[in-house]
């Protein structure tokens, strides 16, 4: 079983430096907010990428931050910023998916099947293939692998910013990677 | 590409040839991991810091479609408000920053009614007042139609962007048109409305507001947040005074309410009800009209305990969403939440 994707009692806390940034951002410090964005945007983007299209993930990352910063004053524990932001990103992705399903139904009702998207080229196509393979893995593996491989975060950084323990991240990375290798090997064989 | 997502990965922790590289990029480099990093790296985040405090609006085709839907919806929605005895008051431009566009007053639907368009760009704001204590501030990149000559409530319709409204405690309620719904801001309330991409957030910071949609009423006791989606009406509001866990549970419940998966609904509902505290009483009140049958009975029973409702016929009338009983329980829910 994958280690829990959500923060629990034994989870790693937001680092003291990040906690200070959260406090400063709460009091309206824009430079602190910019630094928080720098640190946490890859996490938000990565979580979105495991659930929705890449183009939407880019746009939605900013939306999640705008939402987060507008409501950051209501975050009771600055140490919980990472898990709080992650929950917001997951919720935002879920909303987007619900809207997309309704939109697709409307499109089908109006004009038959929706038009296929134009094919991505070369490297992007390859990246999308690997991403799709990751999307088929259990959620916890999915998120951790995308944060590590697409967003370039290390295991300790993932733990600090998502609220997961080092142990959970290590397990998710190792087991997820093992599954991914098998999936990709199967795909190569099939090709 | 096929693979079994449910297959067990095995422990895998002993597979440490590239484990340290996978963990924190400590050499030796695992060529498979490095190759995946290169492949997937092009999908990683490349964004710039967004401007906070300024409503962002990207004129994407999706947004243009959404704006068109909003405009079409508003044409249908704008109806003559009910008549009352209070003398009409007019919206006045109290102050501006930057260079907003203030349109001329034009004839509107009813006799003596006029409407004017007010819009702001990225560097301007407009403060509107209606009487001494009612203030509506239009943020940047906002468009609103303000309607004068209505008998009962001051009316303004927000077409896009963001507004902040404060209604004095002795003043009349103010009606804001938001994505085709009528949002009634009660006296003594402070509310922010943000519209983008075909949806709106109504955030009541203090006081109360009511969102009228078809025949249902959604009520918010500040601090609370309610999302409105174009054509779908208001979602289940969430109390921002509730704990983070309670908010997350409510969000989960909201996500399953729109589905026909009764099992998922029952499960999410059971968790919310089990952990509900008096702070969640207003949320449970709103839940009554969003569930049916046994689910509604269950919500009613938990809410009755939280607000200490006396036994009697009112409890049965609540199941029928009787307006009088619902009003009485709302008042009790507000008292319990405070």
pLDDT tens string B262-304:
888 888 899 989 999 999 999 999 999 888 888 899 999 999 9
DSSP single-letter state for residue B123: T
**3-class SS at A15?**
coil
Q: Where are the alpha helices (DSSP H) in chain B?
A: 19-24, 31-41, 61-77, 244-257, 262-275, 281-288, 293-307, 313-319, 323-337
Please name the residues in contact with B236: beta carbons below 8 A apart, sequence gap of 6 or more: B226, B250, B253, B254, B257, B283, B286, B287, B290
DSSP letter at B101?
Answer: E
Beta carbons of B262 and B291 less than 8 angstroms apart: no
Interchain CB distance below 8 Å, B45 and A61: yes
Core vs surface per residue A54-92: b (16+ CB within 10 A) or e: bebbbbbbbbbbbbbbbbbeebeebbbbbbbbbbbbbbb
Residue B41 CA to residue B300 CA, distance in Å, equals 52
pLDDT value, residue B17: 46
Enumerate residues 136 to 165 of chain A having a beta carbon within 8 A of any beta carbon in chain B: 136-138, 141, 146, 148-152, 154-156
Strands B125-129 and B114-119, sheet pairing: unpaired
- Over chain A (191 residues), the average pLDDT of each successive run of 10 is 42 68 83 86 93 82 84 82 90 77 40 38 76 86 94 92 90 91 73 56
Sign of CA dihedral B281, A94, B44, B25: positive
As to burial, measured by CB atoms within 10 angstroms (0-12 exposed, 13-18 middle, 19+ buried), residue B195 is buried
pTM: 0.49
B229 contacts in chain A (CB < 8 Å): 99
Q: Cβ–Cβ of A150/B44 closer than 8 Å?
A: yes
Which of B11, B4, B5 lies closest to A137 in space, CA to CA?
Answer: B5
Interface contact A138-B255, CB threshold 8 A: no
Beta carbons within 10 angstroms of residue A141's beta carbon: 27
pLDDT of residue B8: 47
Q: Which of A98, A151, A177 lies closest to B44 in CB terms? A: A151
- For residue B63, the SS3 value is helix
Q: What whole-number distance in Å separates Cα of residue A57 and Cα of residue A66?
A: 14
Angstrom distance (rounded) from CA B295 to CA B273: 10
Which of the residues A151, A179, A182, A188 would you substitute to probe the B interface, choosing the one with the greatest number of B C-beta atoms within 10 Å?
A179
Distance between B178 CA and the closest CA of chain A, angstroms: 19
Between CA A138 and CA A142 the distance in angstroms is 6
In A, which residues are within 8 Å of B7 by CB distance?
Answer: 179, 182
Q: What share of chain B is helix, strand, coil (3-state, %, to 5)?
A: 35, 25, 40
Region at B98 (left for phi over 0; alpha for psi -120 to 50; beta for the rest): left
Q: How far is CA A93 from CA A97, A99, A136, B243, B285, in A?
A: 6, 10, 17, 22, 27
Predicted confidence at residue A41, as pLDDT, reads 92
What's the average pLDDT block by block, 10 residues per block, for chain B (338 residues)?
49 51 86 89 74 42 63 50 53 88 81 85 88 86 85 82 87 85 88 86 91 81 87 84 84 80 86 91 92 90 89 83 90 91
Asked if A34 lies within 8 A of B43 by C-beta distance, the reply is no
Q: Determine contact: A80 vs chain B, CB below 8 A.
A: yes
DSSP at B272: H
CA distance A37 to A21: 10
Residue B155's alpha-carbon distances to A24, B63, B166, in angstroms, are 38, 25, 14
Chain A residues within an 8 Å CB radius of B251: 91
Is A24 an interface residue toward B (CB < 8 Å)?
no
User: Which of B45, B248, B258 has its CB closest to that of A98?
Assistant: B258
pLDDT at B239: 87
ipTM metric? 0.81
The pLDDT of residue A104 is 41
Residue in chain A lying closest to B259 (CA): A98
Q: Can you give the pLDDT at residue B87?
A: 53
Torsion sign, CA atoms B175, B178, B180, B183:
negative
Under 8 Å between Cβ of B67 and B74: no
Å between A151 CA and nearest CA of chain B: 5
Q: Are A183 and B3 an interchain contact pair (Cβ–Cβ within 8 Å)?
A: yes
Closest listed residue to residue B158, CA positions, set B134, B187, B137: B137
- Cα–Cα dist B165/B169, whole Å: 13
Contact B197, B178 (CB under 8 A): no
The one-character DSSP state at B258 is T
pLDDT at residue A187, as a whole number = 64
CA A86 remoteness from chain centre: 7
User: Does residue A81 belong to the interface with chain B, where contact is any CB pair within 8 Å?
Assistant: no
């Amino acid at each position: 079983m994958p280690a829990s994707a959500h923060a629990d009692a034994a989870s790693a806390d937001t680092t003291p430096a990040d906690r200070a940034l959260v406090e400063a951002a709460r009091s309206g410090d824009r430079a602190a907010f910019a630094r928080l964005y720098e640190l946490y945007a890859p996490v938000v983007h990565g979580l979105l990428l495991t659930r929705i299209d890449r183009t939407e993930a880019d746009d939605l990352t900013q939306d999640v931050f705008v939402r987060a910063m507008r409501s950051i004053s209501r975050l009771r524990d600055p140490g919980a910023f990472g898990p709080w932001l992650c929950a917001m990103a997951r919720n935002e992705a879920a909303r987007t998916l619900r809207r997309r399903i309704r939109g697709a139904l409307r499109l089908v009702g109006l004009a038959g099947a929706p038009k296929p998207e134009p094919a991505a080229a070369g490297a992007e196509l390859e990246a999308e293939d690997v991403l799709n393979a990751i999307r088929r893995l259990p959620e916890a593996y999915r998120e951790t692998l995308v944060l590590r491989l697409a967003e370039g975060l290390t295991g300790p950084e993932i733990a600090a910013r998502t609220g997961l323990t080092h142990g959970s991240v290590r397990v998710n990375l190792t087991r997820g990677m093992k599954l991914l290798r098998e999936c990709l090997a199967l795909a190569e064989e099939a090709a | 590409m096929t693979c079994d997502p449910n297959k067990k990965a095995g422990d895998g922790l002993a597979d440490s040839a590239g484990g340290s590289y996978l963990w924190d990029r400590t050499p030796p480099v695992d060529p498979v991991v490095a190759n995946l990093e290169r492949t997937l790296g092009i999908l990683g985040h490349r964004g710039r810091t967004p401007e906070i405090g300024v409503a962002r609006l990207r004129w994407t085709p999706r947004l243009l479609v959404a704006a068109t839907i909003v405009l079409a919806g508003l044409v249908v929605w704008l109806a003559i408000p009910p008549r009352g005895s209070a003398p009409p008051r007019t919206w006045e431009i109290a102050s501006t920053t930057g260079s907003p566009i203030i349109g001329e007053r034009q004839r509107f639907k009813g006799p003596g009614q006029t409407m004017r368009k007010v819009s702001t760009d990225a560097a301007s704001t407009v403060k509107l007042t209606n009487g001494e204590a009612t203030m509506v501030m239009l943020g940047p990149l906002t468009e609103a139609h303000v309607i004068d000559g209505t008998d009962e409530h001051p009316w303004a319709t927000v077409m896009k962007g963001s507004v902040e409204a404060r209604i004095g405690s002795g003043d009349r309620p103010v009606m804001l048109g938001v994505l085709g719904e009528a949002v009634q801001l009660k006296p003594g309330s402070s509310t922010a409305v943000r519209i983008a991409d075909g949806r709106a957030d109504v955030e009541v910071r203090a006081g109360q507001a009511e969102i009228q949609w078809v025949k249902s009423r959604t009520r918010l006791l500040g601090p609370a947040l309610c999302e409105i989606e174009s054509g779908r009406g208001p979602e289940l509001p969430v109390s921002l005074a509730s704990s983070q866990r309670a908010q997350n549970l409510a969000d989960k419940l909201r996500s399953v309410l729109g589905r026909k998966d009764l099992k998922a609904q029952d499960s999410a509902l059971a968790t919310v009800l089990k952990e509900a505290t008096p702070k969640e009483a207003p949320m449970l009140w709103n839940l009554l009209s969003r569930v049916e049958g046994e689910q509604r009975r269950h919500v009613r029973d938990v809410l009755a305990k939280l607000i200490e409702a006396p036994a009697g016929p009112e409890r049965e009338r609540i199941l029928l969403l009787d307006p009088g009983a619902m009003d009485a329980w709302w008042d009790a829910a507000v008292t319990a939440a405070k």
